[in-house]
Amino acid sequence: MIPGCVFCRIVKGESPAEIEYEDEEVLAFKDLYPKAPIHLLIIPKRHIESIASLESEDEAVVGHCVRVARLLAERLDYGERGYRVSCNTGPEGGQVVYHLHLHFTAGRRG
């Protein structure tokens, strides 16, 4: 856990969030400023900064995050309709929060 990291604070329960999914390794919660009718963030509980700082031991948890995206899609009935999973990386990639997260968006065309 990194002091001052907003997503680590959510993991620890120190900041509120609308949790949609949780297991030992992964947490998913609603984005505070949704940009689509459904906008969730899926994060590894363990602090990883970004794709740019991934180590080989992080592969399993990142794969797990992708599987959680699929599970949430099916649970929310978007499995067939489709959805977007994206990961902003670095300053020119639009990353603002440096705790790796997948954006899961659905319900909007384009």
Specify the stretch interacting with ligand 5GP by CB under 6 A; choose among 26-34, 54-62, 68-76, 77-85: 26-34
Reduced to 3 DSSP states, what percent helix, strand and coil does the chain have, rounded to the nearest 5?
A: 30, 20, 50
Residue 78 interaction partner, one of ligand 5GP, Zn ion, none, beta carbon < 5-8 Å per kind: none
> ∠ CA(26), CA(95), CA(97), 5° rounding?
55
The answer to whether residue 2 forms part of the interface with Zn ion (CB under 5 A) is yes
Rg (CA), the chain: 13
The answer to whether residue 46 forms part of the interface with Zn ion (CB under 5 A) is no
The binder of ligand 5GP chosen from 3, 56, 96, 110 (CB under 6 A): 96
**Where is 38: in which H helix or E strand?**
strand 38-44
Binding mask 64-83 for ligand 5GP (x = CB under 6 A): --------------------
DSSP-assigned beta bridge partners for residue 54:
none
